[in-house]
Homo-oligomer: A and B are copies of this chain.
Amino acid sequence: MPHFLSTTDADFDARFAALLNMKREDSPDVDDRVAGIIADVRARGDAAVIELTRDLDGLTLTPETLAIPAEEVDRQCALVTDEERAALELAADRIRAYHERQLPEDDSWTDASGATLGWRWTPVSAAGLYVPGGQASYPSSVLMNAIPAKVAGVPRLAITVPTPQGQVNPLVLLAARISGVDEIYRIGGAQAVAALAYGTDTIAPVDKITGPGNAYVAAAKRRVFGKVGIDMIAGPSEILVIADAENDADWIALDLLSQAEHDASAQSILITTDADFGQAVHSAVEKRLETLERRAIAGDSWAENGAIITVRDLDEAAALSNRIAPEHLELCVADPEALAAKCTHAGAIFLGQWTPEAIGDYVGGPNHVLPTARSARFSSGLSVLDFMKRTTLARMTPEALQAIGPAAETLAQSESLEAHGLSVAARRQRLNQG
């Protein structure tokens, strides 16, 4: 049974706060184990990676077979059906087109003092993408991580994907190929993250690591952060649907379930202006749960973390949405743009009843790697900018230095940083002599 709340309840504030603060993730403490793995890979390189892959994935590799060669990728890609290949290509084209618009512009200008200022964006030299193995090995995630990197201009993009007992996912390899990935290694876990961050004889180190993973991968990414850049550490997926009564209850139920089926710790919330519609959605969810393939997972998620909240009006809905700061926000109301303008904290917004969130997972174009656990208050989904960095530029003329240098000298003195001031003063002295 999901949580039923109404803003007219006397205890609403307390129950809503409890919902917000619910701890959904039980993250096992694997940090010590991960620290050991990273130290081992740093010390012994390929040998450690190969040993861990043998022990953890049941796969015996050599330095020569760590990478999946092009011929093997070819063979695997040939196993993909035409329909799946076309779907991946359509998705890739749309994701690429969306992300190409994110490419930032350089700028340069000369101001009144004569100083020329600006900045320049450049891609990282090498990025590594972690792809989970097994059930959570999603080709769509390969597209969503790899395409922004390639659009950014990253010259070297490596992926690591564990292949337990040698099992590879042909769609993952095809997604990597379509995205322009340069290197593919059949390794996973903390050892893969360590190899990407520190490098081995076979795997050159990268500058940025992105991609989802289990608790070991998350702990490893936290530990290598600073040595390399990382994307966010993703928590369980979330959706908030705001719907008025003019909706098909079954559609909304399926949208809620499409988050719930990811993971028992996922969270699906419906906010509606109509309590009866909320009940209808609840019934529709229960009915769909009778036959859904992943009904065990989705049912647990819905019962534990699901919620249906009745509000007086859409302003109330927007205010609650901003407190939740959802990863995915679906607005199934008459004027979704007007409501979206009030929903300022959300990873991605899906406007109107013809935009199920699942479109965004695959083929919409925007990225599906989005901030979870209320972090949309302060962070954004993955983008081209995550694979680039900005260098600021400044050039003074003698005139500009004369104009603004004295202020720098004054501030340097007030901060007791004499050499700072002298480095300006010595140059100005020459100008004053001239």
A residues near B (Cβ < 8 Å) are 83-84, 86-88, 90-91, 94, 97-98, 101-102, 107, 109, 111, 115-117, 119-120, 122, 124-125, 135, 138-140, 171, 207-208, 226, 228-229, 233, 248, 250-251, 254-255, 257-258, 260-262, 288, 292-294, 298, 336-337, 340, 343-367, 370-371, 373, 375-381, 383, 385, 389-398, 400-401, 404-408, 410-412, 414-424, 426-427, 430
Q: Verify B405–A359 contact, CB threshold 8 A.
A: yes
Q: Verify A261–B420 contact, CB threshold 8 A.
A: yes
Q: Verify A424–B124 contact, CB threshold 8 A.
A: no
Given A90-B404, A354-B398, A400-B354, answer yes or no on A393-B349 (Cβ-Cβ < 8 Å).
yes
Q: Verify B358–A229 contact, CB threshold 8 A.
A: no
A327 to chain B, nearest CB (A): 11
Contacts of A357 in B (CB 8 A): 423
| A419 touches which of B254, B375, B414 (Cβ 8 Å) | B254
Question: Can you tell how many copies of this chain the complex includes?
Answer: 2
Distance, CA A84 to CA B375, complexed state (A) = 40
Query: Considering only CB atoms, which chain B residue lies closest to A114 in the complex?
Result: B354
Given A233-B226, A257-B419, A407-B90, answer yes or no on A394-B359 (Cβ-Cβ < 8 Å).
yes
Given A119-B366, A292-B419, answer yes or no on A379-B229 (Cβ-Cβ < 8 Å).
yes
Distance, CA A406 to CA B421, complexed state (A) = 66
Q: Verify A349–B391 contact, CB threshold 8 A.
A: yes
A95 to chain B, nearest CB (A): 11
Query: Considering only CB atoms, which chain B residue lies closest to A418 in the complex?
Result: B293
Q: Verify A408–B362 contact, CB threshold 8 A.
A: yes
Distance, CA A251 to CA B343, complexed state (A) = 53
Given contacts A261-B419, A361-B412, A380-B389, 11 further A-B contacts (CB under 8 A): A91-B411, A120-B340, A135-B416, A228-B378, A258-B417, A288-B422, A298-B419, A348-B393, A354-B395, A361-B408, A377-B389
Q: Verify B364–A115 contact, CB threshold 8 A.
A: yes
Q: Verify B395–A352 contact, CB threshold 8 A.
A: yes
Distance, CA A125 to CA B325, complexed state (A) = 12
Q: Verify B359–A139 contact, CB threshold 8 A.
A: no
Query: Considering only CB atoms, which chain B residue lies closest to A421 in the complex?
Result: B358
Q: Verify B98–A423 contact, CB threshold 8 A.
A: no
Distance, CA A148 to CA B124, complexed state (A) = 24
Contacts of A359 in B (CB 8 A): 394, 396, 401, 404-405, 408, 424
Q: Verify B404–A363 contact, CB threshold 8 A.
A: yes
Q: Verify A351–B395 contact, CB threshold 8 A.
A: yes
| A365 touches which of B120, B261, B394, B419 (Cβ 8 Å) | B394
Distance, CA A290 to CA B88, complexed state (A) = 68
Q: Verify A424–B394 contact, CB threshold 8 A.
A: no
| A377 touches which of B124, B347, B419 (Cβ 8 Å) | B124
Contacts of A371 in B (CB 8 A): 389
Given A359-B405, A405-B359, answer yes or no on A411-B124 (Cβ-Cβ < 8 Å).
no
| A410 touches which of B83, B115, B337, B380 (Cβ 8 Å) | B83
Given A135-B416, A390-B380, answer yes or no on A117-B98 (Cβ-Cβ < 8 Å).
yes
Distance, CA A394 to CA B97, complexed state (A) = 14
A329 to chain B, nearest CB (A): 8
A143 to chain B, nearest CB (A): 9
| A262 touches which of B111, B347, B417 (Cβ 8 Å) | B417
Distance, CA A84 to CA B410, complexed state (A) = 6
12 A-B pairs in the complex with CB atoms less than 8 angstroms apart:
A87-B407, A87-B410, A122-B345, A171-B414, A250-B426, A288-B422, A294-B419, A343-B391, A345-B389, A352-B395, A361-B412, A362-B412
A341 to chain B, nearest CB (A): 9
Contacts of A424 in B (CB 8 A): 356, 358-359
Q: Verify A394–B364 contact, CB threshold 8 A.
A: yes
